[in-house]
C-alpha cells in the first residue's frame, strides 16, 4: 500500500477506534484492517484515475457512515468541497464531530438521499458522487445519479469484479433511464482486496420523478 497521503490519517484511526463502539460505525476494528479496508479502499479511486476529481471539485458521499470513502478522499485532496450525506442521526452527528476534530471543512447532511435529491440546492449540483456499501446498484443509481451534474461522475465502490459485472447487468436499465453511461470498472487487480469501483458518467439530466420513494424503489427497482 502507498503511504497514506496525509498526517491526519493516524488521528482519524484513533477517532474511529475511540468512537466505534458508541456509534456502530464499522465491523472492522483492527488498526491494520482499518488502514487497508477503509483508508486504502477509499483512496483506490485516486489511484485508478488521479484526474477523476478535478481541482476544487464538489464531491457528495452518499450513506457515508463512518466517513467512507468521502473523508479519506478529502484528506488526500484538501482542495475538494466535501459533502457527506447520512440518514442516521447518530452517524451524522459523528461525522460533524469528526470533521471538527480533524479540522477539515465538510458539510454534513442528515437526510435520506431519496428526499434530498429532489431539493434544488442538491439536485444535479455535484461534480462527483461516491457511495460504498449502501445498496444494490440499480437502487444505488436511483439514489445517487440525480445528485450528479450532467458531465459529472458517480463512482460506486463495489465488491469483487464478478459481482460488479453482475450488478452492472442488473443496473443497465437504471443507468440508461437516469441519464448515465458506464465509463469504467476499476480494480481488476487484487491490490485492494479484490474490490471494484464502477464509474458512471452522467450524460443527460435525470427525469424529475427520480428518485422515487423508498417503497417504490424496493418493490420495483428500475
What residues have CB less than 8 Å from 99, skipping those under 6 apart? 71, 84, 105, 106, 108
Q: Give min distance, CB of 108 to ligand SAM, in A.
A: 12
Binding mask 48-67 for ligand SAM (x = CB under 6 A): --------------xxxxx-
Q: Which stretch binds ligand SAM (CB under 6 A): 82-90, 168-176, 188-196, 198-206?
A: 82-90
Instruction: Please give the grid coordinates belonging to residue 77.
Output: 485532496
* For residue 69, cis peptide bond before it (omega within 30 degrees of 0): yes
Per DSSP, 205 falls in state P
Backbone torsion region of residue 65, taken as left when φ is above 0, otherwise alpha when ψ lies between -120 and 50, otherwise beta = left
- Whether residue 162 contacts residue 210, with contact meaning beta carbons closer than 8 Å, is answered with no
| 112 near ligand SAM, rule: CB under 6 A | yes
d(CA 171, CA 141): 8
Q: Give min distance, CB of 133 to ligand SAM, in A.
A: 4
| 132 near ligand SAM, rule: CB under 6 A | yes
Q: What number of chain residues touch ligand SAM (CB under 6 A)?
A: 18
Q: Give min distance, CB of 114 to ligand SAM, in A.
A: 6
| 113 near ligand SAM, rule: CB under 6 A | yes
- Whether residue 69 contacts residue 192, with contact meaning beta carbons closer than 8 Å, is answered with no
Instruction: Please give the grid coordinates belonging to residue 18.
Output: 475511540
Cα–Cα distance list, 168 to 47, 62, 71, 77, 150 (Å): 22, 19, 26, 29, 20
Q: Give min distance, CB of 211 to ligand SAM, in A.
A: 9
Q: β-strands 148-158, 126-132: how paired?
A: parallel
Of 12, 39, 68, 126, the one binding ligand SAM by CB under 6 A: 68
Give, as ranges, the residues between 157 and 216 that touch ligand SAM (CB under 6 A).
none
Instruction: Please give the grid coordinates belonging to residue 170.
Output: 442488473
| 133 near ligand SAM, rule: CB under 6 A | yes
Q: Which stretch binds ligand SAM (CB under 6 A): 9-17, 110-118, 162-170, 187-195?
A: 110-118
Q: Give min distance, CB of 26 to ligand SAM, in A.
A: 6
Beta bridge partners of residue 148, listed in sequence order: 126
Measured from the CB atom, is 25 or 175 closer to ligand SAM?
25
Residue ranges that bind ligand SAM, judged by CB under 6 A: 62-66, 68, 85-88, 91, 112-114, 132-134, 143
Amino acid at each position: 500500500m502507498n503511504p497514506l497521503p496525509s498526517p491526519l490519517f493516524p488521528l482519524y484511526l484513533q477517532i474511529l477506534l475511540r468512537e466505534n463502539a458508541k456509534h456502530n460505525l464499522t465491523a472492522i476494528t483492527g488498526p491494520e484492517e482499518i488502514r487497508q479496508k477503509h483508508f486504502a479502499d477509499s483512496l483506490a479511486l485516486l489511484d485508478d484515475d488521479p484526474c477523476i476529481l478535478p481541482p476544487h471539485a464538489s464531491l457528495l458521499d452518499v450513506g457515508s457512515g463512518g466517513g467512507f470513502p468521502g473523508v479519506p478522499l478529502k484528506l488526500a485532496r484538501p482542495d475538494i468541497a466535501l459533502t457527506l450525506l447520512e440518514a442516521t442521526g447518530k452517524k451524522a452527528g459523528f461525522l460533524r464531530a469528526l470533521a471538527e476534530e480533524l479540522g477539515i471543512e465538510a458539510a454534513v447532511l442528515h437526510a435520506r438521499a431519496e428526499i434530498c435529491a429532489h431539493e434544488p440546492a442538491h439536485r444535479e449540483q455535484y461534480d462527483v458522487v461516491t457511495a460504498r456499501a449502501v445498496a444494490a446498484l440499480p437502487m444505488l443509481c436511483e439514489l445517487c445519479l440525480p445528485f450528479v451534474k450532467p458531465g459529472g461522475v458517480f463512482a460506486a465502490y463495489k465488491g469483487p469484479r464478478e459481482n460488479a459485472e453482475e450488478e452492472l447487468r442488473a443496473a443497465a436499465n437504471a443507468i440508461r433511464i437516469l441519464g448515465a453511461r458506464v465509463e469504467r470498472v476499476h480494480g481488476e487487480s487484487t491490490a485492494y482486496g479484490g474490490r471494484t469501483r464502477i464509474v458512471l458518467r452522467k450524460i443527460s439530466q435525470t427525469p424529475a420523478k427520480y428518485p422515487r420513494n423508498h417503497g417504490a424503489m424496493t418493490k420495483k427497482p428500475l
